[in-house]
Amino acid sequence: MTALESPPEQTGPMPAEQREALLRMPGFGSLYSDHMVTARWTAEAGWHDTRTGPLTAFSLHPATMAFHYGQTIFEGLKAFWRPDGRHVLFRPGDHARRFARSARRMAMPELPEADFLAAVAALTRADRDWVPRPRGHSFYLRPFLLAAETHLSNRPAAEYLFAVIGSPARPAAVEPAPIRLWASTEYVRAADGGTGTVKCGGNYGGSYLAQQEAAAHGCHQVVWLDARERRYVEEVGGSNLFFVEGDRLVTPPLSGTLLAGVTRDSILRLAGRLGLAVAEEPVTLEDWERGCRDGRITETFACGTARALAPVGHAVTPEGEWAIGDGGTGPVTRRLLHTLLDIQYGVTPDEFGWLHAV
Ligand code: COI
C-alpha cells in the first residue's frame, strides 16, 4: 500500500475473534476501534450534528484550511477496564478544559466541557469491547478539532470538525526501559507568547527535525531548552520532565512555554504519598549534569498520558553525555509509576476523584 492509498474500509464492527487477537499486543497508535464520534461547528449554527457512527475516512476538499495553515488541536486521554464491567476515564474534565484552552489560543470555537465529556464517554461505551484489560493496557482516546472550511485565505476558519477516535494501547510499560535524551541546542519547541502551552498540531510537527537529530545521536527523544538562553530544561519530546533530588521531586515551572501535563499534575499530587516534597523550579542543563555527576540528582523521568512514566537513563549533548544514577530505572520512578497505575486500575482508592465511570 502506498502512502496515498487508503487502508481497506472496514464495514461494520470487527469480528470478536480478530479483535481479541489484536488486543493481546496492541502496541501504540496503529489499531483503531469500530466507532468514532463527530460534531460540526459553523458560525451560524454553533455546535451541531453530533453523532456516534462507524469509523470511516473523512472526505475533505484539498483546500480544507487545516491542510494549509495548521489550525488543528488534539487531546489524548485514557479509559481503563474494571472487573465489574464498567469503564473509567482518567481526569477527563482536565482534558476537556485543556482542549478548550487550546481552542482559544488557536482562535477556534471552544467545545463545552459537557459535550467533550459526553463524546469521550459515548465512544468508550460504543467500543467497550476494545478496552484492553491487563494492567498497563488502556483505551487511548484521541479527541481532535480541525479547521474544516474550504478556503485558501490566511485567517481563522468559519467551519470546524470535531472528532474522537479510540485506539487500544499498551504504552505504559509496567517495567519501562530507560530512555536516552538528546539536548537540542539548535532547535527550540516554544518561545514566550507562542503556542507551547497548548496541544496544537504544529508544536509536534515542528519538533520532528530535532527528533531526527536525536535519533542520529542514538537517542530516543529530545530535551527542549528555553528559547531565550538555551540553558533551562523545559520538556522532553511531547512530555514533562521530573528530577529526583534526595526527598525532593523537582519539575520545571509552567513558565508560559510548557504544556501543563495532566500526568505532570498527577505526579505532583501523588508525591506526598511517597513522602516526597515537590518543587516547581527552573533547572539548567548544567545543574542537571552537575547534579547527576555529584550524586545529588539520582533519577530523572519523563511523563505524559500516552507513556505514563519513562525513566531517563542518559542525557547527551553536543559536548558529551552523562548517566542518571546507574542508567537504569530508579526506585522513586518505579514507585510513582505504580502509585499512578494502582489508582488507574482501581487497586487503591481514588482519593482525588480522578476517575469518571462511563
Ligand atoms: C500524550 O501523552 O497523550 C501525547 O499527547 C503524546 C502523543 C503526542 C503521542
How far apart are the CA of 143 and the centre of ligand 1, in A?
Answer: 12
171 Cβ inside 6 Å of ligand 1: no
Report the pLDDT averaged over residues 39-46.
97
- pLDDT for residue 140: 96
Provide the 3-class DSSP secondary structure of residue 288. helix
CA–CA separation, 77 vs 138, rounded Å? 10
Length of the chain: 358
76 Cβ inside 6 Å of ligand 1: yes
Give the position, in ligand 1's atom list, of the atom nearest the Cα of 199: 5
Provide the 3-class DSSP secondary structure of residue 342. helix
For residue 270, CA distances in Å to 8, 182, 279 come to 44, 28, 13
Q: Higher pLDDT residue, 27 or 294? A: 294
- Give, for 165, the enclosing helix (H) or strand (E): strand 159-169
- Residue 171 confidence (pLDDT) above 70: no
pLDDT band of residue 23 (cuts 50, 70, 90) is confident
Please write the tens of the pLDDT for every residue from 194-240.
999 999 999 999 999 999 999 999 999 999 999 999 999 999 998 99
**Cβ 290 vs Cβ 322: under 8 Å:** no
Q: Higher pLDDT residue, 349 or 177? A: 349
Locate the DSSP E strands across 18-62. 35-42, 46-54
Question: Partners of 213 in the beta sheet?
Answer: none
26 Cβ inside 6 Å of ligand 1: no
- pLDDT for residue 286: 97
**Cβ 289 vs Cβ 155: under 8 Å:** no
261 Cβ inside 6 Å of ligand 1: no
Closest protein CA for atom 5 of ligand 1 = 76
CA–CA separation, 240 vs 260, rounded Å? 8
CA–CA separation, 148 vs 62, rounded Å? 11
Give the position, in ligand 1's atom list, of the atom nearest the Cα of 77: 3
- pLDDT for residue 2: 40
pLDDT band of residue 4 (cuts 50, 70, 90) is very low
Please write the tens of the pLDDT for every residue from 55-108.
999 999 999 999 999 999 999 999 999 888 889 999 999 999 999 999 999 999
Q: How many helices (H) and strands (E) does the chain have?
A: 9, 17
**Cβ 263 vs Cβ 303: under 8 Å:** yes
**Cβ 315 vs Cβ 183: under 8 Å:** yes
Note the CATH architecture for domain 179-340.
Answer: Alpha-Beta Barrel (3.20)
252 Cβ inside 6 Å of ligand 1: no
Radius of gyration of the chain (CA): 21
Give the position, in ligand 1's atom list, of the atom nearest the Cα of 263: 2
Residue 308 burial (CB < 10 Å; 0-12/13-18/19+)? buried
Number of CB atoms found within 10 A of residue 99's CB: 25
Provide the 3-class DSSP secondary structure of residue 146. strand
Please write the tens of the pLDDT for every residue from 130-164.
999 888 889 999 999 999 999 999 999 999 999 99
For CA atoms 266, 269, 275, 278, give the dihedral sign: positive
CA–CA separation, 51 vs 40, rounded Å? 10
CA–CA separation, 230 vs 247, rounded Å? 28
- pLDDT for residue 167: 96
How far apart are the CA of 329 and the centre of ligand 1, in A?
Answer: 22
Q: Higher pLDDT residue, 241 or 28? A: 241
Give the position, in ligand 1's atom list, of the atom nearest the Cα of 261: 2
- Give, for 285, the enclosing helix (H) or strand (E): helix 285-293
Report the pLDDT averaged over residues 314-340.
96
- Residue 45 confidence (pLDDT) above 60: yes
Average pLDDT of the chain is 94
DSSP assignment of 102-124 equals: HHHHTT-PPPPHHHHHHHHHHHH
Report the pLDDT averaged over residues 337-356.
94
pLDDT band of residue 190 (cuts 50, 70, 90) is very high
Ligand 1 pocket test: pick from 198, 307, 340 the residue with the most ligand atoms within 8 Å of its Cβ: 307
CATH number of 16-169: 3.30.470.10
197 Cβ inside 6 Å of ligand 1: no
Question: What residue ranges do the domains of the chain occupy?
Answer: 16-169, 179-340
| The three cell numbers locating residue 357 | 465511570
- CA angle 19/24/29 to nearest 5° reads 75
Q: Higher pLDDT residue, 141 or 8? A: 141
User: Residue type for 131, please?
Assistant: V
- pLDDT for residue 11: 62
- pLDDT for residue 172: 58
pLDDT band of residue 8 (cuts 50, 70, 90) is very low
Give the position, in ligand 1's atom list, of the atom nearest the Cα of 305: 2
| The three cell numbers locating residue 173 | 510499560
Please write the tens of the pLDDT for every residue from 286-315.
999 999 999 999 999 999 998 899 999 999
- pLDDT for residue 31: 92
203 Cβ inside 6 Å of ligand 1: no
Backbone angles phi, psi at 294, to 5 degrees: -95, 5
237 Cβ inside 6 Å of ligand 1: no
- pLDDT for residue 173: 62
**Residue holding cell 480541525?**
146
- Residue 6 confidence (pLDDT) above 60: no
- pLDDT for residue 30: 86
**Cβ 258 vs Cβ 312: under 8 Å:** no
- pLDDT for residue 307: 86
Report the pLDDT averaged over residues 255-277.
96
258 Cβ inside 6 Å of ligand 1: no
